[in-house]
Amino acid sequence: MTIQRLKGNPHAAHEAKSLKQEKVPVSKPYKVPLNGQVYELLTVFMDWISDHHLSKLKHEESGMDGEKALPTFASQRNDIQQKCVKLLPVMTEQLQWMPFVNAKLHEPFVKFIYWSLRQLDAGTQHSTMTSTLRRLGEDIFKGVVTKGLQDNSFEHSVESKPKTAAFFKSSSLPLRFLSTLIVLKTVTQADLLAQAFDSLCLDLKADEGKNLFLECQAVPVVLSHLKVSSKGLLSSAIDSLLQMTVESRFLQPFLEVCSCSLFFRTCSVLLRGPKLDLHILEKLSIILQKLSKIKSNKKLFELFTVHLMLQEIQRTTHPEHAFLCINLNSTLFNLGLTKCNSLAASANP
């Protein structure tokens, strides 16, 4: 009946058609303010998970006894790794919101990212993570700068000032330290890595930095750059380890951490490299000399034939390189491979 009326009334039909064509204005959605309490709650959980779960890496990386992990443990580890693989892209995206979050919450957030990355150390390389890790490293290194958000809640829109979040360049040592380690694990650009090692060496001059180095179990991160192929970074990597050998209350814990298969295997590969720079040898000899004082390390020197390589280096090193000769003699003496110590050898060349 309505259709018949419209047909009979051309004006009514025209009005109905115009109503259909008319667009109803849609107001722009308001920006929902970030709930700071939610982020605060999340960072509490992140701290808890990082400290009591993700940071438990000693069994995977120490490799002292060479035994394979139990099936149950391996299954749990794989499960954690898969969860980290899923979480890291999300965490990387969330970095863009950090400028709007209270700065005190940045550290637990970055710490969670760091320990998630470390969980991937013991697993296979995930090819799907390449772009995520690259972006993560770049954002952590450069920091995040957001454009001003437009506030439409007033009659006249107001644009807020850009906000920033600094990580690698943060004035907070703990946040900067964690960020530096993330850069060392994710970035491949030599110039950025060099800056990261410079920052690490500088921070390690302070006791707080040395303590963080041990808390973050950072030795494997540095060892990954201890390669002959990384000539530009090799010296910087060893310099960071040397900072930990300075006499302090952190020296003995550091040496105990280095008393593992991973460290000696890395040194063995490095010493086998052709034409190893003299300065690199001198720096490495300092660390090995201190490790040789720990009696239980003798089996590690022998297991990775480091003692044999040191003997060969000692035999072929020119007496003019007195510093290296003294360290080599002292190391071999501590291992029971020479009859005189370094002081006697230097007194009777």
DSSP 191-238: HHHHHHHHHHHHHTTSHHHHHHHHHTT-HHHHHTT--TT-HHHHHHHH
Q: What is the arithmetic mean of pLDDT over 175-196?
A: 96
Name residue, tokens 């009979």. 8
The predicted pLDDT at position 69 comes to 54
Is residue 199 within 8 A of residue 210, CB to CB? The reply is no
Q: What is the arithmetic mean of pLDDT over 151-165?
A: 61
What is the Cα 143 distance to its own chain's centre? 15
Is residue 181 within 8 A of residue 220, CB to CB? The reply is no
Cα separation, 48 vs 42, whole angstroms:
10
Question: What mean pLDDT, rounded, does the chain reach?
Answer: 83
Pick 325 or 66 by higher pLDDT. 325
Pick 29 or 234 by higher pLDDT. 234
Percent of the chain at pLDDT exceeding 70: 77
Which is it for strands 144-146 and 163-165: parallel, antiparallel or unpaired? antiparallel
Q: What is the arithmetic mean of pLDDT over 321-336?
A: 96
Tell me the one-letter amino acid at 202.
L
Q: What angle do CA 304, 307, 313 make, to 5 degrees?
A: 120
* pLDDT single digits (tens) 37-52: 777 888 888 888 888 8
The predicted pLDDT at position 124 comes to 56
**Confidence category of residue 122, pLDDT binned at 50, 70, 90:** low
- Three-state secondary structure call for residue 150: strand
The predicted pLDDT at position 160 comes to 64
Q: Please state which of the ranges 83-92, 130-139, 242-251, 336-345 shows the lowest mean pLDDT.
A: 336-345
Cα separation, 238 vs 271, whole angstroms:
13
Report pTM: 0.81
Structure tokens given for 143? 């920091």
Cα separation, 130 vs 105, whole angstroms:
27
Q: Which of 51, 52, 47, 182 is nearest to 108 (CA)?
A: 47
Structure tokens given for 346? 């230097």
DSSP state of 121: G
Name residue, tokens 């959605």. 29
The predicted pLDDT at position 74 comes to 72
